[in-house]
Structure 1
Amino acid sequence: MKQISEVIFFLVALAFGGVHGECDVCNTNNPVACHSETVYSLCINDQPTMNFVTCPADYICTSDVYVCYPSNSSVASCTNSTIDESSQCGICASRNNLYACLNETTIAFCFTDGVPHYESLSYCPAGTVCDLNAESGFCTVSTKAAPSCRQSQWTTPEPTTTTISASTSYTTPIATTTTSPVPTTITTPAPTTTTTPVPTT
């Protein structure tokens, strides 16, 4: 009975587009690529960014409108149970978390936030590979170490610079002083009458 309900659930999920079985490919219904059953990254220009995000506990990565769905109500878009352990693409896992390997020869610096910064890329010299376990530097001769990241099918987004030219004008208001007349009270002395006695004769 349990197997019948699982088959029915799978067929319903398939009918609603929940199963695509594509790993590391940007979805059409949401702007992410699922890399395993629970791990995804955002896509920019239809390319995964390699900034991995994990779905909450008991949720799976899907190609549906919302990325993560409860595992008991949906089917994972990518059925890899984990990311290839030999590949640590885009993960700040070097000594002191200084850098991440984005592919075999591209390095992104992580600074202090644990996230690779795509605006600060560096590249390994010819004949060397990006190695998170390098004893010194970031790259090791390819005959002595395997690359820490083998995701060569991913395209690392190139940093772009956009210059916006705009003229800005500022108007500084001129300070004006308004003087209001101060009300004044003029006191006019009341006319006084002086009576002078007239002499009588």
Structure 2
Amino acid sequence: MSPNRICLPLSLFSLLLLLGCLVSSTRGTCNVCNTVNNLTCYSSTQMQACQADVLSTATPTSCPSGYVCVSGSSGVLCQPEGQDASDCQECNKCDESQTFACTGTQSFALCLGTDTVQDSSGTCASGYVCNINDTQICGLPADGVMPTCSYADDTTTTSTSSTTSSTTASPPSTSDASTYCAAVQSQGRYAVGYNAYTTCRQYIYCTLVSGSWVGETYTCPGDLYFDSASQMCVASMPSTCSTTATTTSTTTAAPTTSNPAAYCQAMQSAGYYPVGTDASTTCHQYIYCFLNGGTWNGNAYTCPGSLYYNSASKTCVDTLPSTCSATVASLTLNGVELD
């Protein structure tokens, strides 16, 4: 018996802690059934009875105070905190490729080539769970893919997630110029909408007067259109204008991937960003965002040939990125829904 190992006299944990005296050195992962004793770490301080490759529904059991759940070569054990790193600690951590991080058992976020989880929200397809080591982000428990995050964390992060989604800034309405300018907080001329016949000919001019933002709506003369890139009225219809836009969709500069300027306004950062998750279409595309005269602008590009855009490396690659998978149900970035 190792002199550093402590075995508790509690009947519920006596067998587990006796096994712990044999020393377990191989670290496991959350929700993965350890066949040595048919237990899994349900959270960093809880364990659960299980069967291999089957999502357990058994009632979790907590470790004694000061102990954490560790899965290793001796099975799933409760061990003194600080002696071994507990399992279920990879939630909200970017994967090795810095592509994504699991944020819940069925949710994930993009990392965009960094070690930091971005303002992003993705959901797995029905029945799929997020696993940080899965090449397609989400997998099926029946195929042996278990969620990286703990189900216990899902219950504690639900309120946080709902708060985040409810507080995500919506594009300010252009129906009232001064209200719009107060939201934008920047002097300049801004497009009102994207209807080629109406709002695409208009713009709002924002100025700061005595510490207060004031806005006025103007209409370009004749048949001219307002171009947000040059901030001038021009004869050629800008690419952001749509001849099929509806009245309701043009009252707000909706940030969508088909509207690069509004997309980049939502990103608020220069760089290259993904367009979507469809392997046959949007996975080949990307948007370059840049600041021009105090206004965010964007250009949409398509990777050459059959290459795909990789959001982590920010390059066009010949390998299908993990974000381009049928296992992904939805994905948003800074409030913009990726197609």
TM-score by length of 2: 0.26
Larger radius of gyration: 1
Q: Which has the higher strand share?
A: 2
Structure with greater helix share of residues: 2
**TM-score under structure 1 length normalisation:** 0.40
